[in-house]
Structure 1
Amino acid sequence: MVKRCSWGTCNSDTRYPERIINVSFLPFPKPKTNYDACLRWIKACGRPVEQLNVNKITRDTYVCSKHFVGGFPSEKNPDPFPATGGQIYEARVKSRKRKYVELEHNSAEPSCSVPEVPCIDHVNPIILSRNENDKDTQTDEIVYTNLDLVAHNLSIKNLEEEKNALIKQNEDLKMQLASCVEQDFKLKSKRSPAKKHKQVVNNKKFSAETVANSNIKKLFEYYTGLTYVRFILLVNFLFPEEGINPVNYKEKRKEVKAMLLTDQLFLVLCRLRNGLHIKDLAYRFNIKPQSVSVIFKSVIHYMYLKLGYLSYWPHRDTIIQNMPQQYKQEFPTCLAIIDCTELKTEKPSSLKSQSQCYSDYKSSTTLKSLVVTDPRGSVIFVSDLFSGSISDNEICKESGFYKLLQQLKDQGYLQDNDGIMADKGFRIEKDLGELNLRLNIPPFASTATQMSSGDVALTRKIAAHRIHIERSINQIKNFKIVNRRIPGTLFYNINEIWTVCSLLTNFQDTLVKM
């Protein structure tokens, strides 16, 4: 255990042997056992109150033998030298039967004047009686000497000086505290408008209006996939009544309520188009991530219902009228092109889900959807997402595609012998035959003979026109949220996201010009 001297500026320390030659360490009197002696030693050491006080005294507090008369406490000199350089007083021998009590003064405050000290050889004790009726009782006598009066007055003077110093220090600290409080208030008052101004700047920094007014060419289309004019048309379609918000939010949040509907739609389109994460959008729009999540979920659900309510399959006469010229010459009654596409996903934790979602074509877990476009590449039907192991023939049945064709025939949108163009993987001739519709697919090659020149020409024609549905699917996947590996956290509303992304391509330019 390291021992250090607590007296004044003494540097005696057991870690430095050269400082403690012929020096021993004496433990401090403990406050619990010898409180008066502890106070005397503290005063003799002369250290500041915050460094040495009654609460700081432990069993590891020492004073070295350098500071005692004779190098050790004795009955005559039990205390160390005063560190302040004062006079050393010898201990007074107390009478067994007489007790010393505090001197009573008539005045309210004790006088600080020091009486004259007589010669020590002629010191006569002053005997006062506490009880005037029993002056002969020895135990009631109080004995004082002139030396006691001097010591008492000196202690009173020192205490008054300490008191005045503490009062002055307390006043200085109060002044400093008041100054700090005032300075803190001024800083807060200056910072508060700056914070509000920062929020306003942030709100203006990234919004539909500021991006649309940017000097950067096609910046709005980069963030949303739509021109600003078509964005406004989409806003007017989704929110026809000004001042009324038809979106049913999952949670009620003040930030969501205060945000403009145009900015909410802009936020959703930014996430769909560029795959921006929740925290990124929260920083850009200066709102909390929870508010971004609430807006995205609620607005996507509303767009899914609103856009899905529309009929996208035009009348056959409209399709034929707007067919590309080359397509109209080669396939005048083929009104739609179909194909399937797959979205890669994170591997599900369930082995059963892994087996269902595994695609041999992609060698990964996927989700599969059926997409139908007209000859110009516009999406006229998109199915929900199914597990990646489903076949092309099965997805046509499960997605309700045949039921849709039957409804279109009943309404006169399709007629007998109208055609559907597909790839070789769609072996649905019988199913379409039951609806009196034809399937246009490339001819199959024979194992025995080569393909005829007519079959080769037909294959090339179909491939030249089927490329437009591949372009249309690629246009959907330009929305990066469905072009990357779908995380498990999006499985709960991935159908809504996929459908909205597919139908939003109809607000873009057509792939095949007239």
Structure 2
Amino acid sequence: MEVSEAYNVSAVNISEKHERRGATKHCAYGLCKSDSRYMDRQGMEGVFFIRFPQFHREPEKCTRWANACRRENFTALSLQKFVRSRKRPLVRKNLTWSPEPKRKKSDLGNIDIAQTEAASATSTEDHPIAKLNLDTVQAAEALLMLQNSESEEVNIVSDGRKGLDIQDPNSMLKNSCDEETQTSSCCLTLNEFLALKLENFDLKSKIFELEKKSTQSKSFSIADVKDDDKKMIFYTGLTYGQFMCLWKFLGPATRNLSRINNMRKFELTPSKSRGPKRKLSPEDELFLTLVRLRLGLLHTDLAYRFGVSVSTVNEITSTWIQFLYLQFNRLRNAMFPSRKIISKHLPKSFRKYKKVRVILDATKFFTQVPRNYEQQGNLYSSYKNHCTCKVLIGITPSGAISFVSDVYEGSISDKEIFKKSKIMDKINPGDLVMVDRGFNVRDILLQKGADIVIPPFLGNRTNLSPQEEAQTRVIAKLRIHVERVIERIKKYKICKKIVPLNTLSTFSQTVFIVACLVNFQKPIVK
């Protein structure tokens, strides 16, 4: 039966402070004659009557309870004559039969009443049931389970005079043990059998709770993958050591971040608590944000993985992306190193071009197609045959990303994005800028005393000279590093998705953050 069926109509011992008086109550179990009018009689101290479920609300449960009472001519419709209590009682851990010392043995079939009463009189301290930490519902549940087990496992002893079917639990246990083990040493008394039933029920409840916790409370965290570099790179693009370098770079502010939607409330009432304790630690919040950038998972998926709500995932990612951008943006000027620092770490392959300050290339990201035809024309790229946005990327000869422009419309030319990106503010006289053929910006650089390294043009000729072909191969071999860096950026799937139009204004921040995260990886050029 269900646990809620613990409201069996039987007399149960409780403390005196829970005793209730009012309308007359009668016990409906078996041949018990307990009556609330005679509470002063011997054996009636602390007796409480538990009500039946109402027939018009729960007819099936009420009928099962009536049948479990095994009372002659007693059905669910007879319940109006019996107990009704409005308050759920607090019950002791031991169950007792209502004492009837003058009742004959034949009245209860083959049950030995003297033995039952003696077992009931045993103190709760020495009784095995008293050792079980169970509440009212579990105790009454066990009593009903006992009745069900009797009806299924043993033959019913019939009283011919009254037509009442009652069983002897002790004889049932003895017969069962004799049949299965062929020994009488395993026979149990009624109280021992009831204690085992209660203990079995308690253990099943604990198993159910543990299984529930194991399936629901387990959530994804950095602790699950930090010992495996392959998994860390898959989920974040960084090894655990690189992740910790990033964590230390972000500084102590990570411990005191106020989420975006709660920031205003926190500023208005800084002395008050900012709400309930957060489920994720700051490290796991950063880990969640990196997983979002690396794998491009939806907020619903992340909420399920990390065991939080979708709105919480949205707050975490928005807050941490803004925080990462602010921290990285402070180094935007320092990311573009001087020629002296570049010369100190110049790879051997660049010995012929020692004055190269930056290697430039542009990359595009797909966007949604706008309804406005003018905006659609500005975003459309004939090379990609799709609406795109464009970003200028610059790296040092050693392969570190040193420059990331804002996002521009996809139809912009390479020369135009070179002008608008304001990279000329970082170029000094005597610097060399290595570019592809599309960046024909020599005239702009010459105005500042700099020059470009660009593959030679064919022009009106049919073939390049041998020296020009050799120069083209050398430049292409060196320029390939910027394309490899761009490939690393696009491994973050947040950049490979189609960019919604309403997020174009913040997509520049996302690309810049991803570029800075790539700098935490192993260098491209050795």
For Structure 1 versus Structure 2, the TM-score category normalised by the shorter chain is 0.5 to 0.7
1:249 is aligned to 260
Distance 1:483 1:226, change over 3 A: same
1:315 is aligned to 338
Superposition pairs for residues 159-308 of structure 1, below 5 Å?
Answer: 168-170=78-80, 182=137, 194=210, 197-198=213-214, 201-203=217-219, 206-213=220-227, 216=228, 218-240=230-252, 244-251=255-262, 257-308=278-329
Deviation readout 1:389-417 (Å, 9 max, x if unpaired): 11111111212211233xxx3xxxxxx32
Report how far residue 321 of structure 1 moved: 2.1
2:522 is aligned to 509
Report the 3-state secondary structure (helix = DSSP H, G, I; strand = E; otherwise coil) of the residue aligned with 1:502.
helix
CA–CA distance in structure 1, aligned partners of residues 501 and 405 of structure 2: 20
CA–CA distance in structure 1, aligned partners of residues 249 and 81 of structure 2: 71
Distance 1:387 1:195, change over 3 A: farther
Report how far residue 231 of structure 1 moved: 0.6
Distance 1:247 1:169, change over 3 A: closer
Larger radius of gyration: 1
CA–CA distance in structure 1, aligned partners of residues 277 and 464 of structure 2: 63
Distance 1:495 1:241, change over 3 A: closer
How much identity, in percent, do the aligned residues show?
Answer: 33
1:336 is aligned to 358
Unaligned residue ranges in structure 2 (runs of 5+): 1-54, 57-73, 90-135, 142-200, 264-273
CA–CA distance in structure 2, aligned partners of residues 172 and 191 of structure 1: 37
1:376 is aligned to 398
Distance 1:337 1:260, change over 3 A: same
TM-score by length of 2: 0.58
Deviation readout 1:410-466 (Å, 9 max, x if unpaired): xxxxxx322000011011111111111011111110324421111111111111100
Deviation readout 1:187-231 (Å, 9 max, x if unpaired): 99969965983488423xx11122213xx5521121111110111
Unaligned residue ranges in structure 1 (runs of 5+): 1-48, 51-163, 410-415
CA–CA distance in structure 2, aligned partners of residues 476 and 397 of structure 1: 23
Superposition pairs for residues 491-506 of structure 1, below 5 Å?
Answer: 491-506=504-519
1:61 is aligned to none
Distance 1:427 1:270, change over 3 A: same
CA–CA distance in structure 2, aligned partners of residues 444 and 271 of structure 1: 43
Superposition pairs for residues 26-41 of structure 1, below 5 Å?
Answer: none
Deviation readout 1:91-115 (Å, 9 max, x if unpaired): xxxxxxxxxxxxxxxxxxxxxxxxx
2:374 is aligned to 352
2:128 is aligned to none
Deviation readout 1:245-274 (Å, 9 max, x if unpaired): 145523478578442111011001001111
2:420 is aligned to 398
CA–CA distance in structure 1, aligned partners of residues 400 and 368 of structure 2: 30
Report how far residue 385 of structure 1 moved: 0.7
- Aligned residue type for 1:434: Q
Report how far residue 324 of structure 1 moved: 1.6
Distance 1:464 1:256, change over 3 A: farther
- Aligned residue type for 1:202: K
Report the 3-state secondary structure (helix = DSSP H, G, I; strand = E; otherwise coil) of the residue aligned with 1:339.
strand
- Residue 256 of structure 1 contacts residue 291 of structure 1 at CA under 8 Å; is this kept in 2? no
TM-score by length of 1: 0.59
- Verify: 1:467 aligned to 2:480, yes or no: yes
Report the 3-state secondary structure (helix = DSSP H, G, I; strand = E; otherwise coil) of the residue aligned with 2:354.
coil
- Aligned residue type for 2:260: Y
Report the 3-state secondary structure (helix = DSSP H, G, I; strand = E; otherwise coil) of the residue aligned with 2:260.
coil
- Aligned residue type for 1:211: V
Distance 1:256 1:337, change over 3 A: farther
- Aligned residue type for 1:477: K
- Verify: 1:479 aligned to 2:492, yes or no: yes
CA–CA distance in structure 1, aligned partners of residues 379 and 349 of structure 2: 39
- Residue 247 of structure 1 contacts residue 302 of structure 1 at CA under 8 Å; is this kept in 2? no
CA–CA distance in structure 2, aligned partners of residues 356 and 170 of structure 1: 83
Report the 3-state secondary structure (helix = DSSP H, G, I; strand = E; otherwise coil) of the residue aligned with 1:482.
coil
Distance 1:217 1:430, change over 3 A: closer
- Residue 296 of structure 2 contacts residue 494 of structure 2 at CA under 8 Å; is this kept in 1? yes
Deviation readout 1:350-405 (Å, 9 max, x if unpaired): 22221111011111000100000011221000011111011111111212211233
- Residue 343 of structure 1 contacts residue 483 of structure 1 at CA under 8 Å; is this kept in 2? yes
Deviation readout 1:39-79 (Å, 9 max, x if unpaired): xxxxxxxxxx99xxxxxxxxxxxxxxxxxxxxxxxxxxxxx
- Residue 259 of structure 2 contacts residue 316 of structure 2 at CA under 8 Å; is this kept in 1? no
- Residue 336 of structure 1 contacts residue 419 of structure 1 at CA under 8 Å; is this kept in 2? yes
Report the 3-state secondary structure (helix = DSSP H, G, I; strand = E; otherwise coil) of the residue aligned with 1:287.
coil
Aligned length: 337
- Residue 392 of structure 1 contacts residue 425 of structure 1 at CA under 8 Å; is this kept in 2? yes
Deviation readout 1:334-356 (Å, 9 max, x if unpaired): 12100100001121232222111
Superposition pairs for residues 59-78 of structure 1, below 5 Å?
Answer: none
- Residue 368 of structure 2 contacts residue 499 of structure 2 at CA under 8 Å; is this kept in 1? yes
CA–CA distance in structure 1, aligned partners of residues 356 and 468 of structure 2: 18
CA–CA distance in structure 2, aligned partners of residues 272 and 255 of structure 1: 27
CA–CA distance in structure 2, aligned partners of residues 285 and 171 of structure 1: 56
- Aligned residue type for 2:218: N
- Residue 401 of structure 2 contacts residue 519 of structure 2 at CA under 8 Å; is this kept in 1? yes
Deviation readout 1:9-50 (Å, 9 max, x if unpaired): xxxxxxxxxxxxxxxxxxxxxxxxxxxxxxxxxxxxxxxx99
